[in-house]
Amino acid sequence: MAATSEKQNGSKAPPLPSPLRNSKFLQSNMRILISGGAGFIGSHLVDKLMENEKNEVVVADNYFTGSKENLKKWIGHPRFELIRHDVTEPLLLEVDRIYHLACPASPIFYKYNPVKTIKTNVMGTMNMLGLAKRVGARILLTSTSEVYGDPLIHPQPESYWGNVNPIGVRSCYDEGKRVAETLMFDYHRQHGIEIRIARIFNTYGPRMNIDDGRVVSNFIAQALRGEALTVQKPGTQTRSFCYVSDMVDGLIRLMEGNDTGPINIGNPGEFTMVELAETVKELINPSIEIKMVENTPDDPRQRKPDISKAKEVLGWEPKVKLREGLPLMEEDFRLRLNVPKN
Ligand SMILES: NC(=O)c1ccc[n+]([C@@H]2O[C@H](COP(=O)([O-])OP(=O)(O)OC[C@H]3O[C@@H](n4cnc5c(N)ncnc54)[C@H](O)[C@@H]3O)[C@@H](O)[C@H]2O)c1
Ligand SMILES: O=C(O)[C@H]1O[C@H](OP(=O)(O)OP(=O)(O)OC[C@H]2O[C@@H](n3ccc(=O)[nH]c3=O)[C@H](O)[C@@H]2O)[C@H](O)[C@@H](O)[C@@H]1O
């Protein structure tokens, strides 16, 4: 057609569109950025979002606690892109959705360089919000149950304002996330940005760093290496553990729903650390010891999400029980530690 009109009126026809225009990878109708997508939760979120052929996924990560290994099956895929990027620096991209996960999550890593942790939470969140504002993207922040600090209300509903030490060794993380939540709401009220806030409670599953320092990964690695399980004193402190596939499902529902949050996403099944150690011992290695070791300051004494809001607003509740999730994680740790099952 273009060639014919060129012949008829002598003018030059516009260039033909690229022949790739109609190929599958240019038909995506949702470009999604995941900051921190090379980490534990982020890489599972990538897997889930990539299942939808209409999604194009971009990961930005500085690999502080994450790794390319977690994303290796997607590297080279036409709908996937991986960028080495530190969120404390601005990022220019065109996207429709931003899942903002970038932040070290294990206490040993976030305490390792606390100034960097708070910069990641404050400057990183501002940069992601700036990006959302420039391109009109919807942004979801993965906040934490640590915004409730050492909670005086149990279980914790979203309306609870928390009991947080502003100057303690955990503050770079928990106060950092509180400021990140504040920034989200200020950008929402002042600039009309579409925001979503998830308050995530302890999540576990395959691909956690083996020497991550968090309790479930520590206990499973110790049980497989035949080392004593290190329960930090007093051992009566509680946590509620959510399997990662449930978490990813909750995050996507929150992003695609209509409520800004904050919404607690977690599994309300509550265990003391001694109970967790006993369960790991029973399921993985009944011959190992459990030993009590010193704890670190400001360790929350109890934690359990009230998930009424997630049930009502997102129609979400976790499906995987701790006793079902632990063996799935054990399988992954056995492969990576090269400890076959007898
Ligand atoms: N796993 C949990 O139990 C849990 C609980 C509450 C909240 N969260 C939140 O969920 C998110 C993901 O946690 P996770 O368990 O997957 O942790 P993770 O440490 O495995 O993943 C964090 C990712 O962020 C990246 N990152 C860190 N700082 C960065 C920076 N400045 N720039 C770019 N990338 C950076 C890391 O390299 C890593 O890939 C975090 O925001 C965390 O605070 C997790
Ligand atoms: O879910 C959350 O909101 C937060 O939970 C965790 O923080 P924490 O609960 O302190 O996680 P762990 O380091 O796994 O500790 C859990 C409990 O296990 C205990 N623990 C830890 C490690 C260990 O070897 N033994 C042990 O008894 C700790 O004292 C603590 O009481 C995450 O690491 C944070 O990223 C997250 O934001």
Q: Mean pLDDT, 10 residues at a time, over the chain (342 residues)?
A: 42 62 61 97 98 95 96 95 98 96 93 95 98 96 96 96 95 97 97 97 96 94 96 96 98 97 97 97 96 92 96 98 97 95 81
Task: Yes or no: say if 231 and 224 are a contact pair by the CB < 8 Å rule.
Answer: no
Find the ligand nearest to 240 CA: 2
**Which is catalytic among the residues 173, 187, 204, 243?**
173
Sign of CA dihedral 288, 290, 294, 299: positive
pLDDT of residue 14: 63
Best mutation site among 103, 172, 214 for ligand 2, i.e. most ligand atoms within 8 A of its Cβ? 214
Say if residues 268 and 305 touch (Cβ distance below 8 Å): yes
Residue 192 lies in a domain: yes
Q: Considering the domain boundaries, does residue 136 fall inside one?
A: yes
CA angle, corner 75, sides to 71 and 77, nearest 5?
125
pLDDT, residue 216, reads 97
**Contact status, residue 205 vs residue 325, Cβ threshold 8 Å:** yes
Is 212 a domain residue?
Answer: no
Best probe residue, ligand 1, of 34, 45, 65 (max atoms within 8 Å of C-beta): 65
For residue 174, how far is the Cα from the chain centroid? 15
Provide the pLDDT for residue 288.
Answer: 96
Lookup: tokens for 36: 């921190």
Angle, vertex CA 156, rays to CA 122 and CA 34, nearest 5 = 40
Cis peptide before 14 (omega within 30 of 0): no
Measure 323 CA to ligand 1 centroid, in angstroms. 25
- Distance, CA of 252 to chain centre: 11
Contact 262, 198 (CB under 8 A): yes
Look at residues 154, 128, 158, 123 and name the one whose alpha carbon lies nearest to residue 141: 128
In a domain, 106, yes or no: yes
Identify whether 171 is part of a domain.
Answer: yes
**Is 66 inside a domain boundary?**
yes
Residue 84 lies in a domain: yes
Q: Is 202 in the pocket of ligand 2 (CB under 6 A)?
A: yes
* CA distance linking residue 161 with residue 141, whole number of Å: 18
Q: Are 38 and 61 in contact (CB under 8 A)?
A: yes
CA dist., res. 47 & res. 49, Å (int): 6
The range of the structural domain enclosing residue 96 comes to 25-207+242-266+302-318
pLDDT at 332: 96
Cα of 342 vs centre of ligand 1, distance in Å, is 34
Token digits of residue 238? 């509680």
Nearest CA to ligand 1 atom 32: 86
Beta strands in the chain (DSSP E): 30-35, 55-61, 80-84, 97-100, 138-144, 195-200, 203-204, 229-232, 238-240, 242-243, 263-265, 270-272, 290-293
Q: Is the CB of 299 under 6 A from ligand 2?
A: yes
Coil vs helix vs strand at 249: helix
Pocket test for ligand 2, best of 178, 239, 329 (most atoms within 8 A of CB): 239
Return the SS3 of 264.
Answer: strand
Residue 182 within a domain: yes
Domains in the chain: how many in total?
1
- Give the span between the Cα atoms of 239 and 223, in whole angstroms: 20
Ligand 2 centroid to residue 214 C-alpha, Å? 5
**pLDDT at site 7:** 42
Instruction: Pick the ligand that lies closest to the CA of residue 103.
Output: 1
- pLDDT, residue 23, reads 57
Q: Which string of DSSP letters, residue by residue, matches 51-116?
A: TSTTEEEEEEE--SS--GGGGTTTTT-TTEEEEE--TTS------SEEEE--S--SHHHHHHSHHH
The Cα 207–Cα 3 span in angstroms is 55
pTM of this prediction?
0.93
Locate the ligand 2 atom nearest the alpha carbon of residue 106 and give its number: 33
User: Is 63 annotated in the active site?
Assistant: no
CB 238 within 8 A of CB 172: no
Q: What is the CATH number of the domain that holds 163?
A: 3.40.50.720
